[in-house]
Structures are given as C-alpha cells and as structure tokens.
C-alpha cells in the first residue's frame, strides 16, 4: 500500500509529449500542446484567468481546425 503522503515529481513536458503524440499532424498536436500547457500552469500564475483565456483561444482554434475537411470523417 502507498503511504498517504508521498513525494511525486512530474515533468510536465513529458506528460504533454505523451498526450499529443497521437495527434494526426503537427498543427493539431501543437494546438493541443498549447491547451494543455496553459491549463496545467494556470494556478501557478499571478493571473490564472489570463492563462485560461489563452487555453480557450487555442482550444477554439483546435476545434475549428478539426471541423475542416481534412479532419472530418
């Protein structure tokens, strides 16, 4: 059994690389990367609202990109 409190080191770039490596191409992977980056660090910033707004911008662009012909089923 794991102790109730144990040290964990997470290297965020390793997590992001793992999450985006299945993206269909570099454009979609790059947009996904930015969403993850801004959301994951928002609470560490002086103004988390700004990072969440940036994440939303990239997420909207990602959604719009995926709605275009090359990505549709």
For the record, the structure tokens of 4 come out as 């109730």
- How many residues comprise the chain? 73
38 within 8 A of 52, measured Cβ to Cβ: yes
For the record, the structure tokens of 42 come out as 């928002």
35 within 8 A of 59, measured Cβ to Cβ: yes
pLDDT tens for 12-69 read: 899 999 999 999 999 999 999 999 999 999 999 999 999 999 999 999 999 999 999 8
For the record, the structure tokens of 9 come out as 């080191």
Give this prediction's pTM: 0.83
DSSP tag of 34:
H
What pLDDT shows up at residue 2?
Answer: 53
What pLDDT shows up at residue 9?
Answer: 79
């Amino acid at each position: 059994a794991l102790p109730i409190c144990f040290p964990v080191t997470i290297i965020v770039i390793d997590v992001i690389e793992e999450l985006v490596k299945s993206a269909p191409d570099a454009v979609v992977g790059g947009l996904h990367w930015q969403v993850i980056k801004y959301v994951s660090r928002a609470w560490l910033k002086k103004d988390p609202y700004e990072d969440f707004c940036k994440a939303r911008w990239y997420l909207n662009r990602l959604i719009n990109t995926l709605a275009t012909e090359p990505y549709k089923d």
